[in-house]
Structure 1
Amino acid sequence: MSVSETANRPEHRGRGLKTWLALLAVIVAGVAVAWLGASPLRGETTPTGVVIRTVKAGEGPFIQAQDGVMVEYEGRLPDGTVFDDSARHGGPQPMIAGQVIPGFAEALSKMQKGGKYKIHIPGKEAYGENPPPGSPFGPNADLDFDVHIVQIVPNAALMAGAPGAGGEPQAAPPEGQPQPEAQLPPQPEAQPQPQQ
């Protein structure tokens, strides 16, 4: 082995180490970019466990508890069974944001007009231990929804004098806004019980 070969050996090993470190850095950066890029797919999880994933961002202000909303939705059980959807009721359904199950109300507060969302509501934030009689789900059943916010009517609960709206009803809505009717969202259709 010549003197020049011996002198160059440590430098050659140093380049190999640098190459491996650079490759490792590229891999770590790629994983980080993928993780950050996938965060909209994972969605936002609230402190109560409601998961909200934005499919298509909406525009304008976020929905408030006293707002009326026209919503297209499909509700599913964890096994994928559809238990209710707005199409069964003739299209978008009106509801007051603060008068729906707690998890749905919480999710609505993160939504905007025109937006499309997927939400997962844990059972304790849905109907809890006492689901409505005849409903297709049992106690503490988790619920999943696809939601499209078609329209928002600000302060609809106040204008309609809805109970629990937190204010006095107005004599008339502001000019150019329709007078909404105070309605609760439709309850899931009762399923016939098997005869024993």
Structure 2
Amino acid sequence: MTEVTRVPLQPIAKGSLAKLWIGVIVAVLIAAGLAWAAQPKGVSLDTLAEGTGATPEEGQVVFVDYVGTLPDGSEFDRSQPLPIPESIVPRGTPILVEEGAAIPGFIEGLKQVRKGGKYKLFIPADQAYGAEPPEGSPIPADSDLTFEIEVVDILDRADVEQRFAAAQQYMMAQQQGAGEGEGAPAPVPAPAQ
């Protein structure tokens, strides 16, 4: 017959088991937080007002009104209205949804928008200008960027090209009209000799 040696167990102090479980939970939360912090952050798009219709496809043009800000909230860029009547070309800045047409994060964000929608687009530095922002730009190196965007319209590239051709004809007609008749500036007299 085999003999078993018995080891007496000490009773667990009151509250020790709860402290052990709390320690395990804290360790798991810390590990999860470190894993989350180590993951690269990507482009994120928050919807402020829902738009309608389909999202833009590669090669389409999105007309947007936008304001770009730095992490401290200071504005570094704002869309400017085109000097063309809205009856010819929609208001807003036209941006081609195509690699290289804008910073990568902006293009990625535009692929998720809908006409009439308003959005807040967060772009991490590695999807913006990274360590080399444009020279003379107020954007510091390695800066994250935020854009508030209103999507005015989404059009096919061919349609936009036709509209810009019409706008060019309109502007040429305006310039020619200003040179003839009323509203034209008075001719400048030739210098005396």
Contact 2:46 2:121 in 1 (8 A): yes
Q: How many equivalent residue pairs?
A: 117
**Which stretches of structure 1, 4 residues or more, deviate above 6 A after TM superposition?**
none
Deviation at 1:114, TM superposition (A): 0.5
Deviation at 1:81, TM superposition (A): 0.4
Indicate the residue corresponding to 2:122 in structure 1: 120
Q: 1:101 aligns with which of 67, 81, 103?
A: 103
SS in 1 for 2:108: helix
Indicate the residue corresponding to 1:152 in structure 2: 154
SS in 2 for 1:179: helix
Indicate the residue corresponding to 1:17 in structure 2: none
Deviation at 1:140, TM superposition (A): 1.5
> Residues 2-17 of structure 1 correspond to what in structure 2 (within 5 A)?
none
Which of structures 1 and 2 has the bigger CA Rg? 2
Contact 1:77 1:83 in 2 (8 A): yes
SS in 2 for 1:75: strand
Indicate the residue corresponding to 1:164 in structure 2: none
Name structure 1 gaps, 5 residues minimum: 1-46, 160-172, 183-196
Indicate the residue corresponding to 1:84 in structure 2: 77
Name structure 2 gaps, 5 residues minimum: 1-39, 84-90, 166-193
Contact 2:81 2:92 in 1 (8 A): no
Distance (Å, rounded) in 2 between the aligned partners of 1:92 and 1:147: 10
Indicate the residue corresponding to 1:130 in structure 2: 132
Identity %: 40
Q: 1:66 aligns with which of 59, 62, 65?
A: 59
Indicate the residue corresponding to 2:36 in structure 1: none
Deviation at 1:178, TM superposition (A): 6.4
Higher relative contact order (CA 8 A, sep 6+): 2
Distance (Å, rounded) in 2 between the aligned partners of 1:139 and 1:64: 31
Contact 1:48 1:125 in 2 (8 A): no
Task: Compute the TM-score of the two structures, normalised by the length of structure 2.
Answer: 0.55
1:92-142 C-alpha deviation (Å, 9 max, x unpaired):
111112211100000001101101000110000001121110010122210
Task: Compute the TM-score of the two structures, normalised by the length of structure 1.
Answer: 0.54
1:59-100 C-alpha deviation (Å, 9 max, x unpaired):
111012311111000000010101111147776111112211
Which amino acid letter does the alignment assign opposite residue 63 of structure 1? P
